[in-house]
């Protein structure tokens, strides 16, 4: 393992992308709702580690754990019922969405609708396109493998220990501080310019929808371990997180598309496996 693959970022859990770094007690006093409870603080601080690959992509270590998936008050039946999910293994998840510059460095081209914006998320990439990107990335890198997160892994990382409809709280009042969504912009925006969630992940809500590895499974009340939706050839794949043209409630929705779908509001972030898991 190279030295840059074991870099600890002291500001990971509680950092302001606009340049202000605060301790947990200060953050709580400011009422930003990043940390929901003492147990969430403890879980977040167990994994304040970021690793980098040769492209400079940053990956946050996400600890194994349990969470409640779904929404009890959702008007959409696809989001119900709530149920307990266990994520049995830690993993690294991209701190940021994959950018146009990173895609071009691997694939040699830029398919994005919003061209010429290297720090913006790449979009107009299908699930199939991303599999080709991941194959190339795995060939380049000695550590991995890289893949898309499952929908359960994505929601677990997004919630970052919270139990509220939005990881930032019950209401949408502060959503503009964390998310590029409908009404705040008319296109994609540079990654990492909004506040992160409690585990240091930026743009988990808004900017672009994010492809997941699997399709949307049907929820039941039963507790599950590492659940997986449909993965057969041609099966629809889940997208999560909303985008720059989503309404506020839309950033919480579960959607799915055929794996060859390409839109200017769908991108992705990579998951990188923890060695030995």
Going by pLDDT thresholds of 50, 70 and 90, the confidence category of residue 71 is: confident
pLDDT digits (tens, 9 = 90+) for 9-34: 323 333 333 333 333 333 332 233 33
What pLDDT, on a 0 to 100 scale, did the predictor assign at position 8? 34
Going by pLDDT thresholds of 50, 70 and 90, the confidence category of residue 275 is: confident
What pLDDT, on a 0 to 100 scale, did the predictor assign at position 143? 79
What dotted CATH number matches 5-9+13-97+124-273? 3.90.1580.10
pLDDT digits (tens, 9 = 90+) for 157-172: 999 988 777 777 666 7
What pLDDT, on a 0 to 100 scale, did the predictor assign at position 272? 97
Q: What is the mean pLDDT of residues 125-153?
A: 95
Break the chain into its structural domains and give their ranges.
5-9+13-97+124-273
The model's pTM: 0.82
pLDDT digits (tens, 9 = 90+) for 76-120: 677 779 899 999 999 999 999 999 999 999 999 999 999 999 999
User: What string of H, E and C letters represents the secondary structure of 229-274?
Assistant: CCCCCCCCEEEECCCCCCCHHHHHCEEEECCCCCCCCEECCCEEEC
Going by pLDDT thresholds of 50, 70 and 90, the confidence category of residue 202 is: very high
């Amino acid at each position: 393992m190279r030295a840059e693959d074991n870099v600890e970022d002291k500001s990971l859990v509680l950092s302001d992308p606009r340049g202000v770094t605060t301790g947990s007690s200060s953050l709580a006093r400011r009422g930003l709702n990043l940390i929901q409870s003492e147990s969430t603080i403890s879980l977040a601080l167990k994994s304040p580690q970021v690793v980098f690959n040769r492209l400079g992509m940053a990956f946050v270590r996400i600890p194994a754990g349990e969470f409640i998936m779904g929404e009890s008050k959702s008007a959409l039946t696809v989001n119900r019922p709530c149920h307990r999910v266990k994520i049995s293994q830690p993993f690294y998840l991209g701190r940021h969405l994959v950018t146009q510059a990173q895609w071009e460095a691997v694939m040699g081209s830029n398919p994005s609708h919003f061209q010429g914006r290297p720090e913006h998320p790449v979009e107009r990439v299908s699930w199939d396109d991303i599999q080709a990107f991941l194959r190339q990335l795995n060939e380049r890198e000695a550590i991995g493998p890289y893949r898309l997160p499952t929908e359960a892994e994505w929601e677990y990382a997004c919630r970052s220990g919270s139990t509220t409809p939005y990881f930032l709280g019950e209401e949408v009042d502060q959503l503009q501080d964390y998310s590029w969504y409908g009404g705040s912009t008319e296109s994609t925006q540079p990654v990492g310019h909004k506040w992160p969630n409690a585990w240091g992940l930026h743009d988990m809500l808004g900017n672009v929808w994010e492809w997941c590895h699997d399709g949307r499974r049907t929820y039941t009340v039963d507790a599950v371990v590492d659940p997986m939706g449909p993965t057969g050839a041609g099966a629809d794949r889940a997208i999560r997180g909303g985008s720059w043209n989503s309404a506020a409630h839309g950033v919480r929705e579960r959607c799915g598309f055929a794996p060859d779908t390409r839109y200017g509001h769908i991108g992705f972030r990579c998951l990188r496996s923890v060695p030995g898991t």
